[in-house]
Structure 1
Amino acid sequence: MNIVPAIDLIDGQNVRLSQGDYDKKTQMVRTPEEALKFYQSFESVTRIHVVDLMGALHQEVREENLIKNLRKISSLPLEIGGGLRSLEAIETYRDMGVEYFILGTRAIIDLPWLKDTVNKFPGKIFVGLDAKDNDIYVNGWTENTGIVIDEYLKEIEDLNLAGIIYTDINKDGMGQGPNFENTARINKLTRHKVVASGGVRNKADLDRLESLGIEEAIVGKASHTEAFWEGIR
Protein backbone atom coordinates (compact mmCIF):
# COMPACT_ATOMS: atom_id res chain seq x y z
CA MET A 1 0.00 0.00 0.00
CA ASN A 2 1.38 3.35 -1.05
CA ILE A 3 0.69 6.19 1.38
CA VAL A 4 0.11 9.74 0.15
CA PRO A 5 0.13 12.08 3.18
CA ALA A 6 -1.87 15.29 2.91
CA ILE A 7 -0.84 18.85 3.62
CA ASP A 8 -3.84 21.18 3.48
CA LEU A 9 -3.11 24.89 3.33
CA ILE A 10 -4.98 27.97 4.51
CA ASP A 11 -3.09 31.28 4.70
CA GLY A 12 0.24 29.45 4.72
CA GLN A 13 -0.76 27.21 7.63
CA ASN A 14 -0.98 23.43 7.73
CA VAL A 15 -4.58 22.67 8.71
CA ARG A 16 -7.28 20.02 8.59
CA LEU A 17 -11.00 20.49 8.10
CA SER A 18 -13.76 18.20 9.33
CA GLN A 19 -16.16 17.11 6.56
CA GLY A 20 -14.81 19.94 4.41
CA ASP A 21 -16.27 22.58 6.74
CA TYR A 22 -14.12 25.73 6.68
CA ASP A 23 -15.56 26.69 10.08
CA LYS A 24 -14.16 23.45 11.56
CA LYS A 25 -10.47 24.14 11.02
CA THR A 26 -7.73 22.57 13.12
CA GLN A 27 -4.16 23.79 12.84
CA MET A 28 -1.61 20.99 12.78
CA VAL A 29 1.46 21.01 15.01
CA ARG A 30 3.93 20.83 12.15
CA THR A 31 4.34 23.62 9.64
CA PRO A 32 3.89 22.61 5.97
CA GLU A 33 7.68 22.44 5.59
CA GLU A 34 8.12 20.36 8.75
CA ALA A 35 5.32 17.99 7.71
CA LEU A 36 6.90 17.49 4.29
CA LYS A 37 10.27 16.58 5.77
CA PHE A 38 8.64 14.23 8.27
CA TYR A 39 6.60 12.37 5.64
CA GLN A 40 9.38 11.80 3.16
CA SER A 41 11.38 9.81 5.72
CA PHE A 42 9.02 6.83 5.22
CA GLU A 43 9.62 4.36 2.38
CA SER A 44 5.90 3.71 1.83
CA VAL A 45 5.26 7.39 1.06
CA THR A 46 5.27 7.79 -2.72
CA ARG A 47 3.92 11.33 -3.20
CA ILE A 48 2.84 14.30 -1.12
CA HIS A 49 -0.73 15.55 -1.50
CA VAL A 50 -0.99 19.34 -1.19
CA VAL A 51 -4.30 21.21 -1.33
CA ASP A 52 -4.79 24.97 -1.51
CA LEU A 53 -8.07 25.09 0.42
CA MET A 54 -8.74 28.79 -0.10
CA GLY A 55 -7.91 28.31 -3.75
CA ALA A 56 -10.58 25.63 -3.92
CA LEU A 57 -13.11 27.89 -2.22
CA HIS A 58 -12.35 31.04 -4.24
CA GLN A 59 -11.70 29.31 -7.56
CA GLU A 60 -8.15 30.60 -7.98
CA VAL A 61 -4.63 29.68 -6.91
CA ARG A 62 -3.77 31.22 -3.51
CA GLU A 63 -0.71 29.36 -2.17
CA GLU A 64 1.61 29.54 -5.16
CA ASN A 65 4.66 30.85 -3.27
CA LEU A 66 4.43 28.32 -0.46
CA ILE A 67 3.94 25.44 -2.88
CA LYS A 68 6.96 26.62 -4.86
CA ASN A 69 9.02 26.38 -1.68
CA LEU A 70 7.63 22.93 -0.84
CA ARG A 71 8.59 21.73 -4.32
CA LYS A 72 12.16 22.96 -3.76
CA ILE A 73 12.62 21.04 -0.51
CA SER A 74 10.73 17.85 -1.46
CA SER A 75 12.56 14.72 -2.56
CA LEU A 76 9.22 13.19 -3.58
CA PRO A 77 6.70 14.10 -6.29
CA LEU A 78 3.93 16.52 -5.34
CA GLU A 79 0.31 16.37 -6.40
CA ILE A 80 -1.38 19.76 -6.18
CA GLY A 81 -5.06 20.60 -5.95
CA GLY A 82 -7.27 23.55 -5.12
CA GLY A 83 -8.24 26.32 -7.51
CA LEU A 84 -6.88 24.72 -10.67
CA ARG A 85 -9.42 26.04 -13.16
CA SER A 86 -7.19 26.95 -16.12
CA LEU A 87 -4.33 25.63 -18.20
CA GLU A 88 -2.31 28.66 -17.09
CA ALA A 89 -2.61 27.66 -13.42
CA ILE A 90 -1.48 24.12 -14.19
CA GLU A 91 1.40 25.39 -16.31
CA THR A 92 2.52 27.67 -13.47
CA TYR A 93 2.87 24.67 -11.18
CA ARG A 94 4.38 22.54 -13.92
CA ASP A 95 7.05 25.15 -14.49
CA MET A 96 8.04 25.05 -10.82
CA GLY A 97 8.48 21.28 -11.02
CA VAL A 98 5.17 19.96 -9.71
CA GLU A 99 4.53 16.50 -11.16
CA TYR A 100 0.79 15.85 -10.73
CA PHE A 101 -2.36 17.98 -10.73
CA ILE A 102 -5.70 17.33 -9.04
CA LEU A 103 -8.67 18.71 -10.93
CA GLY A 104 -12.01 18.93 -9.20
CA THR A 105 -14.72 21.46 -9.94
CA ARG A 106 -14.00 22.35 -13.56
CA ALA A 107 -13.12 18.76 -14.40
CA ILE A 108 -16.58 17.74 -13.21
CA ILE A 109 -18.66 20.44 -14.87
CA ASP A 110 -16.63 21.04 -18.04
CA LEU A 111 -15.76 17.72 -19.68
CA PRO A 112 -14.45 19.23 -22.94
CA TRP A 113 -11.94 21.28 -20.93
CA LEU A 114 -10.92 18.21 -18.93
CA LYS A 115 -10.34 16.18 -22.09
CA ASP A 116 -8.26 18.96 -23.62
CA THR A 117 -6.22 19.33 -20.42
CA VAL A 118 -5.55 15.60 -20.16
CA ASN A 119 -4.37 15.59 -23.76
CA LYS A 120 -1.88 18.33 -22.87
CA PHE A 121 -0.79 16.63 -19.64
CA PRO A 122 -1.19 12.89 -20.28
CA GLY A 123 -0.76 10.71 -17.23
CA LYS A 124 -0.40 13.73 -14.95
CA ILE A 125 -4.01 14.53 -14.03
CA PHE A 126 -5.90 13.11 -11.06
CA VAL A 127 -9.63 13.77 -11.10
CA GLY A 128 -10.99 14.47 -7.63
CA LEU A 129 -14.37 12.85 -7.02
CA ASP A 130 -15.64 14.43 -3.81
CA ALA A 131 -19.01 13.01 -2.90
CA LYS A 132 -21.76 12.62 -0.37
CA ASP A 133 -23.36 9.27 -1.06
CA ASN A 134 -23.08 9.18 -4.87
CA ASP A 135 -23.58 12.91 -5.52
CA ILE A 136 -20.45 14.79 -6.63
CA TYR A 137 -19.77 18.11 -4.88
CA VAL A 138 -17.66 21.04 -6.12
CA ASN A 139 -16.37 24.49 -5.13
CA GLY A 140 -14.67 23.44 -1.93
CA TRP A 141 -17.37 20.80 -1.33
CA THR A 142 -20.04 23.50 -0.96
CA GLU A 143 -22.22 22.74 -4.00
CA ASN A 144 -24.00 19.57 -5.13
CA THR A 145 -23.62 19.22 -8.91
CA GLY A 146 -26.45 16.73 -9.24
CA ILE A 147 -23.99 14.52 -11.14
CA VAL A 148 -23.66 10.98 -9.82
CA ILE A 149 -20.37 9.11 -9.70
CA ASP A 150 -21.46 6.16 -11.86
CA GLU A 151 -22.50 8.31 -14.81
CA TYR A 152 -19.46 10.57 -14.57
CA LEU A 153 -17.06 7.64 -14.61
CA LYS A 154 -18.44 6.53 -17.97
CA GLU A 155 -17.55 9.94 -19.42
CA ILE A 156 -13.90 9.81 -18.38
CA GLU A 157 -13.14 6.12 -18.81
CA ASP A 158 -11.09 6.57 -21.98
CA LEU A 159 -8.95 9.48 -20.76
CA ASN A 160 -5.24 9.04 -19.99
CA LEU A 161 -5.49 9.99 -16.31
CA ALA A 162 -3.02 9.45 -13.50
CA GLY A 163 -5.99 8.23 -11.48
CA ILE A 164 -9.15 9.10 -9.59
CA ILE A 165 -9.12 10.37 -6.02
CA TYR A 166 -12.37 9.40 -4.32
CA THR A 167 -13.26 11.23 -1.13
CA ASP A 168 -16.36 10.56 0.95
CA ILE A 169 -16.95 14.05 2.35
CA ASN A 170 -18.90 12.72 5.32
CA LYS A 171 -15.89 10.63 6.35
CA ASP A 172 -13.19 13.23 5.80
CA GLY A 173 -11.44 14.40 8.97
CA MET A 174 -13.81 12.46 11.22
CA GLY A 175 -11.48 9.61 12.25
CA GLN A 176 -14.16 7.01 11.59
CA GLY A 177 -12.50 5.13 8.75
CA PRO A 178 -12.98 5.54 5.00
CA ASN A 179 -16.02 4.47 3.01
CA PHE A 180 -14.70 1.00 2.24
CA GLU A 181 -17.81 -0.18 0.42
CA ASN A 182 -18.09 2.67 -2.05
CA THR A 183 -14.34 2.84 -2.62
CA ALA A 184 -14.34 -0.83 -3.60
CA ARG A 185 -17.45 -0.36 -5.76
CA ILE A 186 -15.90 2.57 -7.64
CA ASN A 187 -12.71 0.58 -8.14
CA LYS A 188 -14.74 -2.10 -9.93
CA LEU A 189 -16.52 0.46 -12.12
CA THR A 190 -13.39 1.90 -13.73
CA ARG A 191 -10.08 0.88 -15.25
CA HIS A 192 -8.44 3.94 -13.69
CA LYS A 193 -6.39 3.70 -10.51
CA VAL A 194 -8.61 4.65 -7.60
CA VAL A 195 -6.95 6.43 -4.69
CA ALA A 196 -8.84 6.25 -1.39
CA SER A 197 -9.22 9.48 0.53
CA GLY A 198 -11.07 10.59 3.65
CA GLY A 199 -11.18 9.04 7.10
CA VAL A 200 -8.14 6.72 7.07
CA ARG A 201 -7.17 6.19 10.72
CA ASN A 202 -4.50 3.52 10.95
CA LYS A 203 -2.66 0.62 9.37
CA ALA A 204 -5.70 -1.61 9.79
CA ASP A 205 -7.66 0.72 7.50
CA LEU A 206 -4.84 0.60 4.96
CA ASP A 207 -4.73 -3.19 5.12
CA ARG A 208 -8.49 -3.42 4.56
CA LEU A 209 -8.30 -1.07 1.58
CA GLU A 210 -5.49 -3.15 0.14
CA SER A 211 -7.58 -6.30 0.51
CA LEU A 212 -10.26 -4.55 -1.59
CA GLY A 213 -7.81 -3.92 -4.42
CA ILE A 214 -6.87 -0.34 -3.53
CA GLU A 215 -3.15 0.36 -3.89
CA GLU A 216 -2.93 3.97 -2.70
CA ALA A 217 -4.51 6.03 0.05
CA ILE A 218 -4.34 9.69 0.96
CA VAL A 219 -4.01 10.14 4.71
CA GLY A 220 -4.78 13.48 6.31
CA LYS A 221 -5.25 14.11 10.02
CA ALA A 222 -3.97 10.68 11.11
CA SER A 223 -0.68 11.10 9.24
CA HIS A 224 0.24 13.99 11.53
CA THR A 225 0.42 11.63 14.53
CA GLU A 226 3.36 9.45 15.51
CA ALA A 227 0.97 6.61 16.37
CA PHE A 228 -0.22 6.26 12.78
CA TRP A 229 3.30 5.43 11.58
CA GLU A 230 3.95 2.64 14.09
CA GLY A 231 4.60 -0.51 12.10
CA ILE A 232 4.87 1.41 8.83
CA ARG A 233 8.22 1.78 7.10
Structure 2
Amino acid sequence: MIVLPAIDIKNGKCVRLKQGLIDQETAYYDDPVFVAKMWEEKGAKYLHVVDLDGAFTGQQTNMDLVKNIVESIKIPVEIGGGIRTLETVEKYLESGVDRVILGTSAVENIDFVRDLCEKFPGKIAVSVDAKGDYVAIKGWVETSDTKVMPFCESLKNAGVKTIVYTDISRDGMLSGPNLEMLDLLNKSLGIDIIASGGVASIKNIEDLSNLGLYGAITGKALYEGTLTMEEINALSGKAR
Protein backbone atom coordinates (compact mmCIF):
# COMPACT_ATOMS: atom_id res chain seq x y z
CA MET A 1 0.00 0.00 0.00
CA ILE A 2 1.31 3.44 -0.88
CA VAL A 3 0.99 6.32 1.58
CA LEU A 4 0.43 9.74 0.00
CA PRO A 5 1.32 12.83 2.06
CA ALA A 6 -1.30 15.52 1.51
CA ILE A 7 -0.53 19.08 0.50
CA ASP A 8 -3.66 21.22 0.75
CA ILE A 9 -3.23 24.63 -0.87
CA LYS A 10 -5.17 27.71 0.21
CA ASN A 11 -4.11 31.28 -0.58
CA GLY A 12 -0.77 29.90 -1.76
CA LYS A 13 0.03 28.21 1.55
CA CYS A 14 0.07 24.61 2.79
CA VAL A 15 -2.83 24.28 5.24
CA ARG A 16 -5.16 21.71 6.79
CA LEU A 17 -8.87 22.08 7.43
CA LYS A 18 -10.78 20.31 10.20
CA GLN A 19 -13.73 18.33 8.75
CA GLY A 20 -13.39 20.35 5.53
CA LEU A 21 -14.59 23.57 7.19
CA ILE A 22 -13.15 26.66 5.56
CA ASP A 23 -13.02 28.53 8.90
CA GLN A 24 -11.25 25.63 10.69
CA GLU A 25 -7.85 26.18 9.12
CA THR A 26 -4.30 25.58 10.32
CA ALA A 27 -1.47 26.93 8.15
CA TYR A 28 1.69 24.80 8.31
CA TYR A 29 4.03 26.15 5.62
CA ASP A 30 4.13 29.23 3.40
CA ASP A 31 5.68 27.35 0.45
CA PRO A 32 3.96 24.18 -0.85
CA VAL A 33 6.89 23.54 -3.24
CA PHE A 34 9.24 23.30 -0.26
CA VAL A 35 6.81 20.87 1.39
CA ALA A 36 6.66 18.68 -1.73
CA LYS A 37 10.45 18.45 -1.84
CA MET A 38 10.51 17.68 1.89
CA TRP A 39 8.12 14.72 1.59
CA GLU A 40 10.04 13.38 -1.40
CA GLU A 41 13.32 13.58 0.52
CA LYS A 42 11.69 11.75 3.43
CA GLY A 43 10.75 8.85 1.17
CA ALA A 44 7.23 9.57 -0.11
CA LYS A 45 6.42 7.68 -3.32
CA TYR A 46 3.40 9.78 -4.41
CA LEU A 47 1.88 13.14 -3.39
CA HIS A 48 -1.78 14.06 -2.96
CA VAL A 49 -2.37 17.76 -3.69
CA VAL A 50 -5.67 19.56 -3.15
CA ASP A 51 -6.49 23.05 -4.41
CA LEU A 52 -8.82 24.18 -1.62
CA ASP A 53 -9.43 27.51 -3.34
CA GLY A 54 -10.60 25.54 -6.38
CA ALA A 55 -12.77 23.28 -4.24
CA PHE A 56 -14.63 26.20 -2.68
CA THR A 57 -14.79 28.53 -5.70
CA GLY A 58 -14.49 26.28 -8.77
CA GLN A 59 -11.72 28.62 -10.04
CA GLN A 60 -8.25 27.17 -10.68
CA THR A 61 -6.07 29.97 -9.30
CA ASN A 62 -3.23 27.69 -8.13
CA MET A 63 -2.48 25.89 -11.39
CA ASP A 64 0.96 27.50 -11.79
CA LEU A 65 1.84 26.55 -8.21
CA VAL A 66 0.81 22.93 -8.84
CA LYS A 67 2.94 22.92 -11.99
CA ASN A 68 5.90 24.19 -9.95
CA ILE A 69 5.39 21.33 -7.48
CA VAL A 70 5.32 18.75 -10.28
CA GLU A 71 8.47 20.18 -11.87
CA SER A 72 10.36 20.35 -8.56
CA ILE A 73 10.10 16.62 -7.71
CA LYS A 74 10.52 13.25 -9.41
CA ILE A 75 7.65 11.36 -7.73
CA PRO A 76 4.12 11.44 -9.21
CA VAL A 77 1.46 13.91 -8.11
CA GLU A 78 -2.33 13.64 -8.09
CA ILE A 79 -4.46 16.80 -7.93
CA GLY A 80 -8.02 17.51 -6.86
CA GLY A 81 -10.15 20.49 -5.92
CA GLY A 82 -12.85 22.12 -8.04
CA ILE A 83 -11.92 20.37 -11.29
CA ARG A 84 -15.07 20.61 -13.38
CA THR A 85 -14.09 21.00 -17.05
CA LEU A 86 -12.28 19.05 -19.76
CA GLU A 87 -9.98 22.03 -20.28
CA THR A 88 -8.84 21.98 -16.65
CA VAL A 89 -8.18 18.23 -16.77
CA GLU A 90 -6.15 18.62 -19.98
CA LYS A 91 -4.10 21.49 -18.55
CA TYR A 92 -3.21 19.55 -15.42
CA LEU A 93 -2.23 16.41 -17.34
CA GLU A 94 -0.19 18.50 -19.81
CA SER A 95 1.62 20.09 -16.84
CA GLY A 96 2.82 16.66 -15.75
CA VAL A 97 0.24 15.75 -13.10
CA ASP A 98 -0.09 11.95 -13.00
CA ARG A 99 -3.74 11.67 -11.94
CA VAL A 100 -6.64 14.14 -11.80
CA ILE A 101 -9.30 13.76 -9.10
CA LEU A 102 -12.88 14.79 -9.76
CA GLY A 103 -15.38 15.55 -7.02
CA THR A 104 -18.56 17.59 -7.45
CA SER A 105 -18.48 17.27 -11.25
CA ALA A 106 -18.59 13.47 -10.96
CA VAL A 107 -21.69 13.58 -8.76
CA GLU A 108 -23.45 16.01 -11.08
CA ASN A 109 -22.53 14.43 -14.42
CA ILE A 110 -21.56 10.75 -14.72
CA ASP A 111 -21.33 11.09 -18.53
CA PHE A 112 -18.53 13.64 -18.02
CA VAL A 113 -16.67 11.05 -15.94
CA ARG A 114 -17.19 8.36 -18.58
CA ASP A 115 -15.92 10.64 -21.37
CA LEU A 116 -12.80 11.56 -19.41
CA CYS A 117 -12.04 7.92 -18.56
CA GLU A 118 -12.24 7.06 -22.26
CA LYS A 119 -10.04 10.01 -23.23
CA PHE A 120 -7.48 9.63 -20.43
CA PRO A 121 -7.51 5.97 -19.33
CA GLY A 122 -6.05 5.40 -15.87
CA LYS A 123 -5.60 9.14 -15.28
CA ILE A 124 -8.99 9.94 -13.74
CA ALA A 125 -9.86 9.32 -10.10
CA VAL A 126 -12.95 10.39 -8.18
CA SER A 127 -13.06 11.64 -4.61
CA VAL A 128 -16.07 10.22 -2.80
CA ASP A 129 -16.53 12.45 0.24
CA ALA A 130 -19.05 10.90 2.60
CA LYS A 131 -21.28 12.49 5.22
CA GLY A 132 -22.83 9.37 6.66
CA ASP A 133 -24.29 7.36 3.76
CA TYR A 134 -24.44 10.35 1.39
CA VAL A 135 -21.92 12.08 -0.88
CA ALA A 136 -20.93 15.69 -0.07
CA ILE A 137 -20.13 18.20 -2.81
CA LYS A 138 -18.77 21.72 -3.42
CA GLY A 139 -15.89 21.59 -0.99
CA TRP A 140 -17.97 19.47 1.42
CA VAL A 141 -20.31 22.44 1.98
CA GLU A 142 -23.39 20.67 0.58
CA THR A 143 -24.68 17.11 1.00
CA SER A 144 -26.16 15.59 -2.15
CA ASP A 145 -28.99 13.04 -2.27
CA THR A 146 -26.55 10.53 -3.81
CA LYS A 147 -25.77 7.43 -1.71
CA VAL A 148 -22.13 6.32 -1.41
CA MET A 149 -22.26 2.67 -2.51
CA PRO A 150 -24.49 3.02 -5.62
CA PHE A 151 -22.44 6.06 -6.62
CA CYS A 152 -19.17 4.12 -6.34
CA GLU A 153 -20.64 1.31 -8.46
CA SER A 154 -21.66 3.82 -11.13
CA LEU A 155 -18.11 5.23 -11.13
CA LYS A 156 -16.64 1.78 -11.68
CA ASN A 157 -19.07 1.20 -14.55
CA ALA A 158 -18.02 4.54 -16.06
CA GLY A 159 -14.39 3.38 -16.19
CA VAL A 160 -12.97 4.91 -13.01
CA LYS A 161 -9.99 2.88 -11.77
CA THR A 162 -9.27 4.80 -8.55
CA ILE A 163 -11.57 6.12 -5.83
CA VAL A 164 -10.46 8.33 -2.95
CA TYR A 165 -12.87 7.70 -0.06
CA THR A 166 -13.08 10.29 2.71
CA ASP A 167 -15.24 10.08 5.79
CA ILE A 168 -15.65 13.82 6.40
CA SER A 169 -16.50 13.38 10.08
CA ARG A 170 -13.01 11.99 10.59
CA ASP A 171 -11.00 14.34 8.39
CA GLY A 172 -8.45 16.39 10.32
CA MET A 173 -9.69 14.83 13.57
CA LEU A 174 -6.97 12.17 13.98
CA SER A 175 -9.75 9.78 15.01
CA GLY A 176 -8.86 6.83 12.78
CA PRO A 177 -10.27 5.90 9.35
CA ASN A 178 -13.64 4.24 8.65
CA LEU A 179 -12.26 0.70 8.27
CA GLU A 180 -15.63 -0.97 7.87
CA MET A 181 -16.70 1.14 4.89
CA LEU A 182 -13.25 0.99 3.29
CA ASP A 183 -13.20 -2.80 3.54
CA LEU A 184 -16.67 -2.98 1.99
CA LEU A 185 -15.69 -0.71 -0.91
CA ASN A 186 -12.45 -2.58 -1.54
CA LYS A 187 -14.09 -6.01 -1.58
CA SER A 188 -17.20 -4.95 -3.50
CA LEU A 189 -15.68 -2.86 -6.27
CA GLY A 190 -12.38 -4.54 -7.14
CA ILE A 191 -10.72 -1.24 -8.12
CA ASP A 192 -8.04 0.87 -6.41
CA ILE A 193 -9.31 2.43 -3.18
CA ILE A 194 -7.40 5.22 -1.44
CA ALA A 195 -8.36 5.89 2.18
CA SER A 196 -8.51 9.50 3.33
CA GLY A 197 -9.56 11.12 6.59
CA GLY A 198 -8.76 10.28 10.18
CA VAL A 199 -5.32 8.67 9.73
CA ALA A 200 -3.54 9.45 12.99
CA SER A 201 -0.85 6.84 13.62
CA ILE A 202 1.22 4.02 12.20
CA LYS A 203 -1.39 1.63 13.65
CA ASN A 204 -3.99 3.19 11.33
CA ILE A 205 -1.64 2.71 8.37
CA GLU A 206 -1.09 -0.90 9.39
CA ASP A 207 -4.86 -1.51 9.68
CA LEU A 208 -5.47 -0.01 6.22
CA SER A 209 -2.63 -2.03 4.72
CA ASN A 210 -4.13 -5.20 6.19
CA LEU A 211 -7.36 -4.48 4.29
CA GLY A 212 -5.39 -4.75 1.05
CA LEU A 213 -6.09 -1.16 -0.02
CA TYR A 214 -4.16 0.47 -2.85
CA GLY A 215 -3.32 3.60 -0.87
CA ALA A 216 -3.85 5.93 2.08
CA ILE A 217 -3.65 9.71 2.32
CA THR A 218 -2.41 11.39 5.46
CA GLY A 219 -2.02 15.08 6.18
CA LYS A 220 -2.52 16.41 9.69
CA ALA A 221 -0.86 13.38 11.33
CA LEU A 222 2.37 14.04 9.42
CA TYR A 223 2.30 17.79 10.06
CA GLU A 224 1.51 17.34 13.76
CA GLY A 225 4.05 14.51 14.18
CA THR A 226 1.69 11.75 15.39
CA LEU A 227 2.88 9.80 12.33
CA THR A 228 6.25 10.02 10.57
CA MET A 229 7.57 9.04 7.16
CA GLU A 230 10.27 7.04 8.98
CA GLU A 231 7.55 4.85 10.53
CA ILE A 232 5.79 4.50 7.18
CA ASN A 233 9.02 3.55 5.40
CA ALA A 234 9.87 1.00 8.10
CA LEU A 235 6.41 -0.60 7.79
CA SER A 236 6.73 -0.66 4.02
CA GLY A 237 10.12 -2.36 4.34
CA LYS A 238 8.62 -5.04 6.63
CA ALA A 239 5.81 -5.69 4.14
CA ARG A 240 8.35 -6.55 1.46
Q: SS of 2:22's equivalent?
A: strand
d(CA) in 1 for partners of 2:18, 2:49 = 17
1:16 corresponding residue in structure 2 = 16
2:85 corresponding residue in structure 1 = 86
Q: Give 1:51-200 correspondences, 5 Å limit.
A: 51-200=50-199
1:40 corresponding residue in structure 2 = 40
Q: How much is the aligned-residue C-alpha RMSD, in angstroms?
A: 1.4
d(CA) in 2 for partners of 1:140, 1:81 = 11
Shift of residue 156, structure 1, vs aligned partner: 2.0
Bigger helix fraction: 2
Q: How many residues align?
A: 232
d(CA) in 2 for partners of 1:22, 1:82 = 13
Shift of residue 225, structure 1, vs aligned partner: 4.1
Q: Contact (CA 8 Å) 2:13, 2:30: kept in 1 or not?
A: no
2:238 corresponding residue in structure 1 = none
Q: Which runs of 5+ in 2 are unaligned?
A: 234-240
Shift of residue 137, structure 1, vs aligned partner: 0.5
Q: Contact (CA 8 Å) 2:13, 2:29: kept in 1 or not?
A: no
Q: Contact (CA 8 Å) 2:163, 2:193: kept in 1 or not?
A: yes
Shift of residue 113, structure 1, vs aligned partner: 0.8
TM-score after normalising by structure 1: 0.95
d(CA) in 1 for partners of 2:205, 2:30 = 23
Work out the percentage of aligned pairs sharing the same amino acid.
37
AA aligned to 1:200 is V
Q: SS of 1:6's equivalent?
A: strand
TM-score after normalising by structure 2: 0.92
Shift of residue 141, structure 1, vs aligned partner: 0.4
d(CA) in 2 for partners of 1:225, 1:34 = 17
Cα deviation digits, residues 123-172 of structure 1 (max 9, x gap): 01111000111100000001111100111122122343340000000000
Q: SS of 2:231's equivalent?
A: coil
Mapped pair 1:2 → 2:19: no
Q: Which runs of 5+ in 1 are unaligned?
A: none
